[in-house]
Amino acid sequence: MNNNYQKFINRFLLLSCFLIIFDTLIGRCLAVLYHETKNPTIAKMNYSFFETKADILIFGSSRGEGHYIPQIIKDSTGLECFNTSIGGEGIFYSFGLLTNVLTRYKPKLIVYDLAPNVVFDPASIDKISILLPYYKLNREIQAVVALKGSFEKYKMISSIYPYNSLLFKIITGIRKKRNDFQLSNGYKPVYGTLNYFVNSQDDRYREPQNIDTIQIIYFKKFIELCHKAQIPVIVIVSPKYYKTSQFPRTITVFKKITCSYNQLFIDNFTVDGISENSKYFKDPIHLNNIGSELFSKRIASKLKQELSK
């Protein structure tokens, strides 16, 4: 029996050694490739985390990414602007990114696009995976990743795991010659027009019952972080098509938090001149390129006013 144990332990240790070697080697290669790739999302995230020095930073989800045109904001305010928003991501990504940005420099203004629908995304915790390649940057990011589950810190022992499911994006991005996001400073236009009937009773556009408290906590942390760094934050709820729900409870909660730190909250969820016109929308919750141009012009003038105060 002793021989059985000994043999098992020997083989187990040998296998573990090989596994550590291969995991480290492959993980290192993936890390290098991850920072080299020109996949639009990954390259934009890397740029946001490590390079941007823009005066105005825009944070948000797909609505943030497609609703704010940095060039228009720059032309109006005279300040460099970069849109860090990533489709499908909410406050967790924005908070993780902000913690690292603040270790590098202090932006003059931060705009947070609040997407009320993203607040209820049941997959929001799973989407924290986007921060895995940046896990080692600081403890705040590690705390966000820990929300995924108690085993996450053990999984992160592997050097490969942070790049789980990213191989295809990394490799296809390596072959690209240029970083497309830099041409538009992070703005991703959406083309096409809302050309179908929108049912106001559709569950997808209605405010659910329970607000995700973890997201509220992290939103508060986001505002607090800016407040401590003495960076003004403007929280904006950008337009949606008028037929969808107003999300009144959600907006009230977030507005209260923002105002408690003496920061500006702009509720443009339903706004005259945009919300009622389907030609400005790609779908009920996303402005198209024409709508985003109109909205960016309006917001740029408000930002200019705020900066001049």
Partner 1 sequence: MFFIPAYILILAVTIVIDYTAAIYISNSEGKTRKYFLIISIVSTCLVLFIFKYFNFFNANFSLIASFLHLKYPVKFINIILPIGLSFHTFQSLSYVIEVYRGNQLPEKNFGIYSLYVMFYPQLVAGPIERPQNLLHQFYEKHNFEFRRVSEGLKLMLWGLFKKVVVADRLAIYVNAVYNNSEHHTGLSLALATIFFAFQIYCDFSGYSDIAIGSAKVMGFELMTNFRRPYFSRSISEFWKRWHISLSTWFRDYLYISLGGNRVSPYRRYFNLFMTFVVSGFWHGANWTFVIWGGLNGVYLILEIWLNDVREWLFKSSFLRIITNYVLPILITFVLSCFAWIFFRANSLEQSVKIISKIGRLDGPLFMDSPTMIYSFIGLFILFLVEFEEEYSLFSISLLNNKKMAIRFGTYIFLIITILVLGVFDGGQFIYFQF
Q: For residues 47 and 161, which CB has a smaller minimum distance to partner 1 in the complex?
A: 161
Residues contacting 134, CB < 8 A, separation 6+: 45, 49, 96, 100, 141
CB of 163: closest distance to partner 1 in angstroms? 7
CB of 172: closest distance to partner 1 in angstroms? 8
Query: What is the side-by-side strand order in the sheet with 233-237?
Result: 81-83, 56-59, 109-113, 233-237, 264-267
Q: For residues 125 and 253, which CB has a smaller minimum distance to partner 1 in the complex?
A: 125
Q: By CB under 8 A, is residue 5 in contact with partner 1? A: yes
Q: By CB under 8 A, is residue 38 in contact with partner 1? A: no
Q: For residues 123 and 177, which CB has a smaller minimum distance to partner 1 in the complex?
A: 123
Q: Where are the beta strands (DSSP E) in the chain?
A: 56-59, 81-83, 109-113, 233-237, 264-267, 281-283, 286-287
CB of 27: closest distance to partner 1 in angstroms? 9
Q: For residues 132 and 141, which CB has a smaller minimum distance to partner 1 in the complex?
A: 132
Name the CA radius of gyration of the chain, rounded. 22
Residue type at position 257: I
Instruction: Name the burial class of residue 29, with classes exposed (0-12), middle (13-18) and buried (19+) by CB atoms within 10 angstroms of its CB.
Output: middle
Residue type at position 52: T
Return the residue of 108, 155, 227, 255 that touches partner 1, per CB under 8 A. Answer: 155
- 27 DSSP 8-state letter: H
Q: By CB under 8 A, is residue 157 in contact with partner 1? A: no
CB of 5: closest distance to partner 1 in angstroms? 6
Which candidate, 135, 181, 227, 158, places its Cα nearest to that of 16?
A: 158
Q: For residues 168 and 191, which CB has a smaller minimum distance to partner 1 in the complex?
A: 168
Q: For residues 128 and 300, which CB has a smaller minimum distance to partner 1 in the complex?
A: 128
> ∠287-266-197 over CA atoms, to 5°?
30
Q: How many residues bind partner 1 (CB under 8 A)?
A: 27
Q: By CB under 8 A, is residue 7 in contact with partner 1? A: yes
Choose one: 51-59, 152-160, 175-183, 246-254; the region binding partner 1 (CB under 8 A). Answer: 152-160
The two structure tokens encoding residue 235: 């929280």
Q: By CB under 8 A, is residue 22 in contact with partner 1? A: yes
Residues contacting 271, CB < 8 A, separation 6+: 239
Question: In angstroms, rounded to a whole number, what is the distance separating the alpha carbons of residues 63 and 238?
Answer: 8
Question: In angstroms, rounded to a whole number, what is the distance separating the alpha carbons of residues 182 and 213?
Answer: 35
Q: By CB under 8 A, is residue 156 in contact with partner 1? A: no
Return the residue of 103, 168, 178, 210 that touches partner 1, per CB under 8 A. Answer: 168
The two structure tokens encoding residue 236: 């904006």
Range 81-140, binding partner 1 (CB under 8 A): 123, 126, 129
Question: In angstroms, rounded to a whole number, what is the distance separating the alpha carbons of residues 167 and 30?
Answer: 8
Q: By CB under 8 A, is residue 154 in contact with partner 1? A: no
The two structure tokens encoding residue 132: 């895995």
Return the residue of 51, 78, 136, 164 that touches partner 1, per CB under 8 A. Answer: 164
Question: In angstroms, rounded to a whole number, what is the distance separating the alpha carbons of residues 42 and 172?
Answer: 11
Residue type at position 158: S
Return the residue of 59, 68, 163, 247 that touches partner 1, per CB under 8 A. Answer: 163
Choose one: 108-116, 162-170, 213-221, 289-297; the region binding partner 1 (CB under 8 A). Answer: 162-170
Task: List contacts with partner 1 (CB under 8 A).
Answer: 1, 4-5, 7-8, 11, 14-15, 18-19, 22-23, 26, 123, 126, 129, 148, 155, 158, 160-161, 163-165, 167-169
